[in-house]
Amino acid sequence: MSDITCSATCYPDKCSFSWTKSGNEVSNSSVLSLGSAHRNQAGNYVCTAKNPGTIETASSAIIVVEIAYGPEDITLSPDIKSYTFNEGQTLHNITCSAKCVPECTFSWKRSSTVIINSNLLSLGYVKRGDTGIYECSARNPRSGQIVNSQTVEILIRYGPDMVTLSPNQLSFTNNEGQLMSDIRCSASCVPVCTYIWRKSDILVSDNNVLSLGSLNRGEDGSYACTATNPELNVTTESPIVVIEIRIGPDSVSLSPPTLNYQMTEGQVLNNITCSARCVPDACLYTWSKSGAVIVNGFVLSIGSFEFGEAGSYVCTAKNPGSGVAVTSHSVLIESKEAATTLTDPETRQQTTTIIVGAVMGGCVAIVLVVLLMLRRRHVICKCNCVKTDSSPDGIDLPDTPSKTRTTDQSEQHTQMSEIENTQHTYEQIGRNI
């Protein structure tokens, strides 16, 4: 530090000088020489001039000597290194102090970012965003020197406020046996939450993952994930997740369960209904006859029976979601007259006998007709060959005995009788057929 010189005029003798600091003399000359400054030399200095002849004195203005130093001895009050609060609780002020000349300036940082330009950390009602590592910095405004305090960790416990799901879907509809993707739940918690999954208040998972894999029909229902803060004992539940499984049809029932009906023409056949279980949507039904769909519905309504309605009927139930289809047992509807003809043993034997007889009779008739035609040609030929009494062109022929002509006429009569008998036999066969 440079010397400070004090001067004054005295007569007749020269003035005497002295320097005092806070009333205490520190020099008896006109020069204040502090040399290498030290913080204890700081203070208010006054120079006093004295006339030795008259004993009169005069004082200079106060010289303020300030020695800059610090910051030193930075401290926090209260001297606590770690705080844990529940969200909403009050954190009392934390004061930072240090020795500085001139007076230090202060700031508070959280995660290396300045949040307050003051020596007072005042958070009041703490929020989850207040969690972090805090540090106070003291700075000498003249020298620019900075000193940091010890760190203070503040931990705010909170949550869970809400539970989110991934995928963010609240309704699933899958086929039985289909692979179900995992559903995960999560929540913001300090400390980390614990999780469970329940189905209708029954525990199905003790973590945040609902993993059902290949779906079985008993796994449909309502699921919810619960997140719990283990220290605050606060719980929050996710939205309900509804899982539907397309089920059925397993089998088709008929009412009445009769599978064979014997009907007469005009007889009324009561409605036949089919039923099956499909989930979640009702089954779709069709009735088919000989492979062709005839009814879109679960009721087969024939009413007054007609012969053309005889046949085999099948009901098909289909799950509209999965496309799975199941058919009922065949329902056989027969005409009673046709069934009697075709099924009675005696009638079947009689029918067979008639058919065989008809075939044989037809064959015999054809043979007889052929023989008859040949015979008639032979008779005609013989008749044409009989001699007459007169000859052509006036030529006299020898007399032929009358016995010969008589014999020929008798043979003709016999042949005609045979023809008539053959025709009668043929007509009789035709009537039997």
* Residue 100, both tokens: 């500085």
Q: How confident is the model over 159-179, as a mean pLDDT? A: 95
User: Hey, what amino acid is at 73?
Assistant: D
Q: Tens digits of per-residue pLDDT, 403-412?
A: 334 344 455 4
What pLDDT band is residue 393 in, cutting at 50, 70 and 90? very low
Determine whether 63 is exposed, middle or buried from the number of CB atoms within 10 Å of its CB (0-12, 13-18, 19+): middle
Report pLDDT for 417: 55
Report pLDDT for 391: 37
Report pLDDT for 166: 97
Residue with tokens 């030193």, as numbered in its chain: 72
- Max Cα separation, the chain? 236
Report pLDDT for 362: 52
> Nearest-CA neighbor of 341 among 354, 331, 351?
351
Report pLDDT for 124: 94
DSSP class per residue in 188-246: --BS--EEEEEETTEEEESSSEE--EE--GGG-EEEEEEEEETTTTEEEEPPPEEEEEE
Alpha-carbon span 165 to 405, nearest angstrom: 128
Report pLDDT for 375: 56
Determine whether 390 is exposed, middle or buried from the number of CB atoms within 10 Å of its CB (0-12, 13-18, 19+): exposed
Q: Worst-scoring range by mean pLDDT, 3-12, 44-53, 143-152, 395-404?
A: 395-404
Does the structure show a pLDDT above 70 at 402? Answer: no
Report pLDDT for 353: 46
Does the structure show a pLDDT above 70 at 376? Answer: no
Report pLDDT for 366: 64
- Tell me if the pTM is above 0.75: no
Report pLDDT for 397: 36
Which helix (H) or strand (E) is 417 found in, with range? helix 402-432
Q: How confident is the model over 312-331, as a mean pLDDT? A: 95
**Residue 413 backbone dihedrals phi, psi, to 5 degrees:** -60, -45
Q: How confident is the model over 137-151, as a mean pLDDT? A: 95
Report pLDDT for 386: 37
What pLDDT band is residue 399 in, cutting at 50, 70 and 90? very low
Does the structure show a pLDDT above 70 at 62? Answer: yes
